[in-house]
Amino acid sequence: MAKKKWISCLLIICTCIVTAGCWDMRELQDRNFVLAVAIDKADEVKEVETFVQPHGTKRYRVSLQILKFASGGEQREETNTFIKSNTGESIFEMVRDMLGQNSKSLWFEHIQVIVISDAVLKEVGLSEILDFFKRDAEMRSRIKIYVTSGKAQSIIEFTPPSKEPGGVYLANIIRLHNKNIHVAGARTDLGYTIQYFDNNSNVLLPRIEMADKVVKLSGSAVFKKDKFIGYADEYAVAGLKIMLGTEKSAVVTMDSPKTPGHQVIFELFRHDTRLTPHVEKGVIYYTVDITMYGNIGELQGDISLNDTLDPEYLRILEVAFAEEIKRNIYYAEKVFKKDMKVDPVSSFASKLKAHEPNTWEQVQDQWDELYPTIPLYVSVNVSIRNIGSHK
């Protein structure tokens, strides 16, 4: 009896293995690594590339950057990626149709970046475009999303001079946002963007541009909910990062107080930034208190005149830097609040909600109208700890 049990158990296992096993097996080298996706407006519909669709229009051009394996590994060829593209309306449908152009199946687990042209964003909401990427199980939350004013396809066609795979190169640029005050890179990947949609917040994505052989990340594309509003320049992004306290390091420049026409540069090491909402007698206002500690990073004027060993002079510099930072913050406030009327990443709203929940309850419905009128008071305190020189 026991023997029969054993045999039947074994049979069941064998049948399971034979009938169900290996269904998911596909060797690593038999997959097409998609490293980057570009989404453009469908400019010209090429006959062979596309397909006949029963519904909709040819709205997008989706281009995929696919990895080409270097044979042997020793002699790496000039470009190690190639581009396949297709036009249509459903991204999923386009991707599946694109299998007709490939010998190996497309595989999205290692997508690094999604580059979206603003021409598309002016017509369609961001969430509509990203829906496929958030829904599909293969996509990762840490995919970077960039917005460009030019053609997105040409950006993923870019061949990095370092011979890295293009998608990896593009994705790694934003990892340096900690040291680059001109790029607002924290929490801008696919996972966070979807989270912002779910929270009904505004989205801020990094802007990428290409000219000739240069690809550069700087400034931000500003969204109200998922609707594209416009671009914020580097100075505004710097101001925003300082205001929200998301910067790790920063470089602040100004004219030397003693030798105008020559610049003195402050390098931020550590800061303490508090953006606080206040409600007094029904009036909402914000204060931001910043204390910054840092270094003299560069000094271009005459050293004998700009004597950093003189404590008196350092005090003058500290006050001047504080003024400069204040100016920067007010510039950012003007760009976002007055010009675009967007609360970037809904940070002001969430602060109010956290600190003054009762007030938030009252004002949340008319927040969009109210927000541009709320004043912001800035106080900055700069402390220069090191001067970076010796006698």
Partner 1 sequence: MKRIKCPRIRKLSADRPEASIQQAEKELTKLQKMTRQSTVFGEEIEDLVDQLRQVAAPSSEPFIFTSILEENKKLLQSIFKDCGDIEFRNFDAGGKSALLVYLEGMADTSNLERNVIKPLMSQTAPDNPNTGNLSEIFTTMKGISEHILGASSVSVLTKANAAIDAVMMGNALLLIDGISEGLSISAVKYVKRNIGGANNEHILRGPNEAFNEGLTDNIVLIRRRSRDTNIKVQILKIGERTKTSVAILYVANLVKPGLVEEVERRIKLIDTDKVLASARIEEFIVDHPWSPFPQVQTTERPDKVLAALYEGRVGIIVDGTPATLLVPCTYNVLMQSPDDYTIQPVIASLIRLTRNVTAFIAIYLPAIYVSVVSYHPGMLPTTMAISVAELRARTPFPSFLEAIMMELLLEVFQEAIVRLPQRLSGAATMVGAFMVGTTIVQAGLINPLLVVVVAITAISSYSMPSYTFNLALRWLRIPMLVLASILGLYGVIIGILAVTIHACSLRSFGESYIGGLFDITLLSDWKDGVVRLPSKLLKERPKEFGAKDLTRGGEEDG
- Which region, judged by CB under 8 A, interacts with partner 1, from 41-49, 63-71, 218-226, 322-330? 63-71
> Does residue 165 belong to the site contacting partner 1 (CB under 8 A)?
yes
If binding means CB under 8 A, how many residues of this protein chain bind partner 1? 26
- Least distance to partner 1, CB of residue 305, Å: 50
* Of residues 33 and 197, the one with the C-beta less far from partner 1: 33
* Contacting partner 1 within 1-60 (CB under 8 A): 17, 21-22, 24-29, 31, 33, 35
Residues 260 and 301: beta-carbon distance below 8 Å: no
Element counts in the chain: helices (H) and strands (E): 12, 13
Type of residue found at 285: Y
* Contacting partner 1 within 119-138 (CB under 8 A): 138
Rounded (10°) CA dihedral 93, 158, 237, 248: 100
Instruction: Using the CB atoms, write b or e for 306-325: b if 16+ within 10 Å.
Output: bebeeeebbeebbebbbebb
User: Distance (Å, rounded) from C-alpha 245 to C-alpha 233?
Assistant: 18
User: Distance (Å, rounded) from C-alpha 221 to C-alpha 116?
Assistant: 11
The correct pick among 12, 45, 70, 99 for binding partner 1 (CB under 8 A) is 70
* Of residues 29 and 366, the one with the C-beta less far from partner 1: 29
- Least distance to partner 1, CB of residue 64, Å: 15
Taking alpha carbons only, the member of 122, 345, 328 closest to residue 234 is 328
> Does residue 78 belong to the site contacting partner 1 (CB under 8 A)?
no
- Least distance to partner 1, CB of residue 77, Å: 12
Question: What single DSSP character describes residue 46?
Answer: -
* Of residues 140 and 224, the one with the C-beta less far from partner 1: 140
> Does residue 103 belong to the site contacting partner 1 (CB under 8 A)?
no
* Of residues 17 and 316, the one with the C-beta less far from partner 1: 17
Type of residue found at 173: I
Residues 376 and 306: beta-carbon distance below 8 Å: no
The correct pick among 72, 161, 282, 357 for binding partner 1 (CB under 8 A) is 72
- Least distance to partner 1, CB of residue 138, Å: 7
- Least distance to partner 1, CB of residue 135, Å: 17
| Angle value at C-alpha 247, between 285 and 240, nearest 5 degrees | 40
Taking alpha carbons only, the member of 192, 10, 203, 38 closest to residue 125 is 203
Question: In the chain, where do the E strands start and end?
Answer: 31-41, 60-67, 81-88, 105-107, 113-117, 144-148, 204-211, 214-224, 227-232, 250-255, 263-280, 283-299, 376-386
Q: Are β-strands 263-280 and 250-255 bridged in parallel, bridged antiparallel, or unpaired?
A: antiparallel
- Which region, judged by CB under 8 A, interacts with partner 1, from 103-111, 220-228, 340-348, 382-390? 103-111
* Of residues 24 and 280, the one with the C-beta less far from partner 1: 24
The correct pick among 69, 82, 92, 377 for binding partner 1 (CB under 8 A) is 69
* Of residues 173 and 382, the one with the C-beta less far from partner 1: 173
User: 3-class DSSP state for residue 74?
Assistant: coil
Q: Which two tokens stand for residue 240?
A: 């925003």
> Does residue 112 belong to the site contacting partner 1 (CB under 8 A)?
yes
* Of residues 2 and 25, the one with the C-beta less far from partner 1: 25
* Of residues 25 and 211, the one with the C-beta less far from partner 1: 25
* Contacting partner 1 within 236-295 (CB under 8 A): none
Q: Which two tokens stand for residue 85?
A: 């593209």
Q: How many CB atoms lie within 10 A of CB 254?
A: 16
- Least distance to partner 1, CB of residue 323, Å: 45
* Of residues 39 and 111, the one with the C-beta less far from partner 1: 111
Q: Which residues bind partner 1 (CB under 8 A)?
A: 17, 21-22, 24-29, 31, 33, 35, 67, 69-73, 107, 109-110, 112, 138, 140, 165, 168
